[in-house]
Structure 1
C-alpha cells in the first residue's frame, strides 16, 4: 500500500531511456568504487599477509590488522561508503525511512541480548551454536521471545542463525563477548565489565540511559523554556528522569552505583585505547624549553600526560581534575611511573575546570575530551579561565574529534584558512564524510545526555575566539572521524 501511495506522487520521467541513463549514471560509479577497492584490498591481503575479516567468524583483534595499512583502510572506508549509498539509492524510500524509525528496536534487542549474556553463552557453545530452548534455560528468558530478538539481530548481521532457532556468534556479536563465564555473570551481574576493554560497557551505557534520554528529545525541545537551554540539568536525560539534574548528579545517587561503575569502566577503556603516539604527535612538545609547565586540564588520572612525559621527561606537568579522579590518579602513577611523582616532574592537582586557574607560568594548557562535554556557554567559561591565566606566550592545545560536514567544501583554499582545518573528503560521488555516522552519533549522545556537543572546526574556532583564543593550526592525525585531532591556539 505504501509503495502504491508513494509511486502515485512521483512525477513520471520523460522516457524510459532517461530513466535508464540516470540509473546507470548513479549506480555505475558506486559499483566501480566497490570493485576497484575490493581488488586493492585483496592485493593488500597478499602483500601484507593480513587476512581480511570474515563475517561468520567470531571477532578477534587480529582481524583488524589489515587497517594498519593506510591504503587498505581507505579502500575499506570507500567500499562501506559506496555500499551504504547503494542501499539508500535502491531501497524503497518508505522502507528506508522505516528502518531509521525502527532503530530503537535494534538497540532494545541488542541490550536484551547483552544483559542476558548471550554472546558469552554462544561462545561457550562453540561454532555449532545453540538452540534457543537451551539458551532460554541458561538465561531464564522465554525462548520464543529470545528467538525473535536474535533473529532480528541476525538479519542485521549481529549473531548468525545457522539452523531454525539455532544461533551462534559471528564477527559483530563477538565484540559483545566479555570473555567471562556466563554462569559467573549470571551469579554476579555487576562484575560483567570489570577487567574488560570497556567496549561492552560503552555500548550498554548508550543502550540504557542515553537511549532512554533520546526518546524524550522532542518533548524537551518543544518546551520553549528548554529549547534554547545550554544547561546540563535541562537535558533530554533530565526530561526522561522527570527532575532537573545533570547526568553527573544522577550518577551520584546510590541507586545508580552500577550505572556509574559501568560508565567509568567505559571511559577508562576509551582512554586506554587512545594512541599514546598520537598524543605525542598532536603538538611539538620537543619545542618547549626544559622545565616548561604543561597543565593537563580535566586530565582524569593522567593517561595523556603519561604519554607525553614518557618521551619528554624534561618538562613539568600538572594533572588537574576533581578530587575523586585525582585520588585514582595517585594509584595510577604509583604503578605507572612513581618516580615522576617523587621527583616532582608530575603534580596531581584537585581542581574544577569551571573555577579560576591557579596563578603560575604555563607554557601549554592541554585540554582533551572536556569541551565536548559542555555547551558553548560552559565551554566558554572553561576557556575564559585559561585565557585569564595565560601569558602572551602560552599555547592552548585542544584535543577533540572534529565533526565533518556532509557536503563538500570549495576545492580552493579560502583566504586565511587555518592549516589542517579541512577534513579528508571521500571521492565523488560518495558523501564527502564517507557516510560514516559514528562521530555524529557521539554528538547526539552528548546532546541527549548533557546538552553538550561534538563540534565542527568552525564551531570550535568560534568558541575559542569567543574566549580570546585564536586557532593557528590543526595538527591532523590519520584515521577516521573518531580520531582525536589537535587544535593549536594562541591568546588574542
Structure 2
C-alpha cells in the first residue's frame, strides 16, 4: 500500500507511517526476491540497488514515508537545527576530497590516522576530526582505534572517479556559489542571466568562462558530467518511449547535443533514422566523432553550430533540444526558439520540435521527495547560470513570444525529465 499525505502534511500518524514503511519494505524485498536480486547491505561487496522504473517507484514512495516519519519524530526545531548545520558536514567532505583521503586509504586493509595525516600534510587533530565526522555518515570505518578503512560509501568514491568528480565540483565550485545567493540577488534583484547570478558573484566570471580559465577544474567538470550522464541513464526513458520514433523517417537534428550520446543511443535503436549532432563546442563534437561505432558511423554526423543562430538544416524529420534551455534566461530561450523557425518552415508540417527537459510540476502534484529533486535542479540553474527549469505554461509563453504559430500538441511530464512535442502551425501568421 502507499500512505497518502495531503499538501500540508496534516493528519499524519507515527504509527500509521511506521506500519506503511513496513509494508513498503516488504514490497521492495518481494521485488528483489522475484527478480533474483540481492538486498542491499552496508557490506563492501553489496550491489547497488537496481535502476528499473519499478524499483524507483518503490524507492520514491518509501523514501517519502521515511522522511515524514523522521520529521514527526524529530519535530521542527530539532530537524531545523540539523538541517542548517549540513554545510559543516559538507565542509568535512570537501577536506576529504581536496586532500585525497579517499584515494590514499587503500581499497583493502587500513591506514593509521598518523600515516594519513603525514601523507596529506595536515595535523593529526584535524584529520581525525574530519574522518570521525564523516564516519557518522558511514564514510570510512575504524575497525581498531586509530586505523581507518573504507566503508561501502567511501569505497565507491575511491573506485569511481567520475562520481568523485561529481561530488568534488559540487562542493568546490557550486556550493561556494550557492552560499552567495543572498549577495547576488540583493545586487541584481530584477535581473538574472549568464552574467548576473551567484556563480559570477562568487567566482568573478560566468561558468563557461570560469572553466576556460581553469583547465584542471574544467577536466574535473567534464568527468563529473560524464558521471551524471551515467547515473541518470533513466532520464532518457520518456524521450525514447513516449515519442513515436518508429513512425519518423529522415534526419533528426540534435541541437546543442554535445558529444551526441543521445543521438548515438537513438541511432542504435532506430536504424531507419539519420542524426546530425550540432554544438558550438568543437571539442565536444570531436569527442563524439571518436566514439562512433561501425554500426552507426554512416548515420550520425557532427556539425558546429550555435542554437542561437538560424537553423541551417532543412527538411528534417525532427529537431531535438535536450537539457539546454535550462541554462539560459527567458529572453535567451526566446532567441533559441526563434532560431528553429527557418528549419521548421522548410520542413514538413508534421516535423516536431522536441524539447526534452524537466517540466516543473504544479506544487504538491508530485510526491514531495520527487518534486524536491526537480526543484533542486531549478536552484542549481539559478545559482550557476541565472536561469531556471520551467513549467509547461512557462515553456508555452516563451514559445509564443518566439513565434505565435508554435503549439504544444503533446506533453509527457510523468518522469524526471519531461518532453514537449511542439509544432509550427502553418495556418497562423508568425
TM class by shorter-chain length? 0.7 to 0.9
Q: Look up the SS of the partner of 1:124 in the other structure.
A: coil
TM-score, normalised relative to structure 1: 0.76
Per the TM alignment, residue 23 of structure 1 is displaced from its structure 2 partner at its CA by 10
Residues 435 and 389 of structure 1, relative CA distance in 2, 3 Å threshold = closer
Q: Which residue of 1 aligns with 2:424?
A: 491
Matches for 1:308-323 after TM superposition, within 5 Å? 308-322=266-280, 323=282
Q: Secondary structure at the match of 2:368?
A: coil
The Cα of 1:297 is off from its aligned counterpart by 0.2
Aligned to 2:6: none
- Stretches of structure 2 that go unaligned for 5 or more consecutive residues are 1-8, 426-430
CA-CA distance at 1:48 after TM superposition: 2.4
Which sections of structure 1, spanning at least 5 residues, go unmatched? 1-21, 180-195, 409-424, 426-431
Q: Does 1:442 align with 2:377?
A: yes
1:287 match: 247
Displacement of 1:145 in angstroms is 0.8
Deviations 1:70-108 (A, max 9, x none): 1x4333322221121122222243332232222221222
Q: Provide the C-alpha distance between the structure 2 equivalents of 1:24 and 1:325, rounded to a whole number of angstroms.
A: 52
**1:262–1:396 distance in 2 versus 1, CA, 3 Å:** same
1:352 maps to which of 299, 303, 306: 306
Please name the residue that 1:51 is paired with.
Answer: 38
Output the CA distance in 2 between the equivalents of 1:131 and 1:240: 37
Query: How far apart are residue 170 of structure 1 and its match?
Result: 2.4
Q: Determine the C-alpha separation between the residues in 2 that align with 1:465 and 1:88.
A: 43
- For the residues of structure 2 that align with 1:97 and 1:388, how far apart are their CA atoms? 52
TM-score (norm. length: structure 2): 0.86
Verify: 1:33 aligned to 2:20, yes or no. yes
- RMSD between aligned residues: 2.7
Is residue 206–residue 445 contact of structure 1 (8 Å, CA) maintained in 2? no
Q: Deviations over 1:202-233 (max 9, x none)?
A: 2211111111111111001012xx22223211
Say which is worse superposed, 134-143 or 214-223, in terms of deviation: 134-143
Deviations 1:9-64 (A, max 9, x none): xxxxxxxxxxxxx9995312311221111122222333322122113x2365x332
Aligned partner of residue 69 in structure 2, secondary structure? helix
Stretch moving more, 377-386 or 154-163: 154-163
Matched, 1:373 2:327: yes
Residue 470 of structure 1: CA displacement? 2.4
Once the two structures are TM-superposed, the CA of residue 168 in structure 1 deviates from its matched residue by 3.2
Which of 81, 85, 99 aligns to 1:102? It is 85
Match of 1:467 in 2: 402
Q: What is the CA distance between 1:458 and its match in structure 2?
A: 3.6
Q: Which of 252, 272, 296 is equivalent to 2:212?
A: 252
Is the CA contact (8 Å cut-off) linking 2:322 and 2:355 kept in structure 1? yes
Please say if residues 264 and 300 of structure 2, whose CA atoms lie closer than 8 Å, have aligned partners that are also in contact. Answer: no
